[in-house]
């Protein structure tokens, strides 16, 4: 029986691994399997749910944005996360010094032949002084933390009045342009109120058409490994990520083959303006023929050239405020 249970466990682990790695093996489209880029001050918040993407988008795995800073991060180097500080009294400098003293006393006792605790008696007076200083240190620290928390307190519901609109998606594969027409006819104006200094943004029919074009243009430029073209279609940050992904494919001796990119359904999640830039986050379901091939032989490694796959992703676009629909650039991709 134990042998059968062990076999079942091994099979379960193998199945879990196969499921976990299946997206990476079967897809080669731009930004496969992860969430990358920046959404201004909303980079670290979830986009509003839509009929196309009712579940929250994945958090960003790659971003150059910094929490609390508006604006697109296009050239800012990524900052590594700070290592968490050791907690508690013995994580402080004083606590470490006290522990060092106790350890030193124990070692001295061993050297003098009195055992691990033999050296403690000779430093009891010093230890008493250290303990008194420690108590004073803790009291001062508690007082400082209390005053700091008083200064930083804010109303619990601050900003709760800000509302974010989501829009009904396209049905029957009519494309984002159909959404724009429906919005105009039904009074659905794009835009979502955002925290200061952000403001509402109205998304027009030409904007939706630009988003649909960018969907296909970015995927095709990625498959062609055309970095020059990608830099005209995306922010500097996204172009850097795409260049890294392409370089990794080259290192593996592989290449992407993408065709037949077609929008099936899409709707607006959020649209706002901040720090002199316009942002629009759009949920898009699209079909795509997506394969990975050997760079030398052209042999298919993964994917299917005869059967398009359907993918749902959340794309964010950015442009300078006051510019034209043709000036939109891809700023982020999140997996739905």
Classify 307 in phi/psi space as left (phi over 0), alpha (psi -120 to 50) or beta: beta
Beta bridge partners of 281: 270, 316
As a whole number of angstroms, the distance between CA 308 and CA 288 comes to 5
As a whole number of angstroms, the distance between CA 15 and CA 22 comes to 10
Residue 221: pLDDT over 90: yes
Longest dimension (CA), the chain: 93
What is the helix (H) or strand (E) element at residue 229, kind and residue range?
helix 227-233
pLDDT, tens digit (0-9, with 9 covering 90-100), for 94-118: 454 545 554 455 544 544 555 544 5
In this structure, are residues 290 and 269 in contact, taking their beta carbons and an 8 Å threshold?
Answer: no
Query: Measured in whole angstroms, how far is the alpha carbon of residue 322 from the centre of its chain?
Result: 28
Query: Mean per-residue pLDDT for 267-294?
Result: 96
pLDDT for the residue numbered 199: 75
As a whole number of angstroms, the distance between CA 297 and CA 157 comes to 60
In this structure, whether the domain defined by 44-63+164-335 belongs to CATH 1.25.40.10 is answered with: no
Beta bridge partners of 330: 234, 317
pLDDT for the residue numbered 127: 61
In the chain the beta strands, taken as DSSP E runs, fall at: 36-37, 199-200, 254-274, 277-294, 300-303, 309-320, 329-335
pLDDT for the residue numbered 100: 52
Non-local CB neighbours of 87 within 8 Å, separated by 6+ positions: none
As a whole number of angstroms, the distance between CA 218 and CA 46 comes to 23
pLDDT, tens digit (0-9, with 9 covering 90-100), for 32-66: 668 999 999 999 999 999 999 998 789 999 999 98
Q: Token pair of 93, please?
A: 């400098």
Handedness of CA 138, 143, 144, 145 (dihedral sign): positive
Confirm whether pTM is higher than 0.85. no
């Amino acid at each position: 029986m134990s042998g059968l249970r062990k076999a079942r466990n091994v099979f379960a682990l193998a199945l879990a691994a196969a499921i976990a790695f299946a997206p990476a093996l079967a897809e080669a489209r731009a930004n496969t399997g992860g969430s990358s880029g920046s959404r201004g001050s909303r980079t670290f918040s979830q986009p509003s749910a839509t009929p196309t993407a009712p579940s929250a988008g994945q958090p960003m795995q790659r971003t150059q944005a910094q929490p609390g800073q508006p604006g697109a991060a296009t050239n800012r180097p990524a900052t590594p996360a700070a290592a968490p500080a050791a907690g508690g009294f013995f994580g402080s400098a004083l606590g470490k010094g006290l522990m060092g003293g106790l350890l030193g006393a124990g070692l001295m006792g061993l050297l003098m032949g009195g055992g691990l605790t033999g050296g403690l008696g000779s430093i009891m007076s010093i230890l008493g002084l250290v303990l008194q200083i420690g108590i004073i240190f803790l009291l001062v620290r508690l007082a400082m933390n209390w005053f700091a928390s008083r200064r930083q307190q804010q109303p619990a519901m601050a900003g709760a009045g800000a509302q974010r609109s989501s829009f009904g998606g396209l049905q029957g594969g009519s494309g984002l342009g159909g959404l724009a027409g429906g919005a105009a006819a039904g009074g659905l104006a794009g835009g979502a109120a955002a925290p200061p200094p952000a403001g509402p943004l109205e998304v027009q029919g030409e904007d939706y058409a630009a988003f649909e074009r960018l969907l296909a243009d970015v995927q095709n430029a990625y498959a062609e490994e055309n970095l020059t073209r990608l830099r005209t279609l995306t922010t500097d940050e996204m172009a850097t990520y795409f260049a890294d992904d392409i370089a990794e494919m080259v290192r593996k001796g592989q290449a992407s083959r993408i065709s037949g990119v077609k929008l099936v359904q899409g709707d607006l999640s959020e649209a706002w303006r901040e720090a002199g830039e316009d942002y629009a986050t759009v949920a898009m379901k699209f079909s795509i023929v997506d394969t990975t091939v050997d760079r030398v032989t052209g042999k298919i490694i993964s994917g299917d050239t005869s059967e398009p796959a359907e993918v749902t992703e959340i794309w964010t676009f950015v442009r300078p405020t006051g510019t034209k629909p043709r000036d939109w650039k891809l700023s982020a991709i999140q997996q739905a």
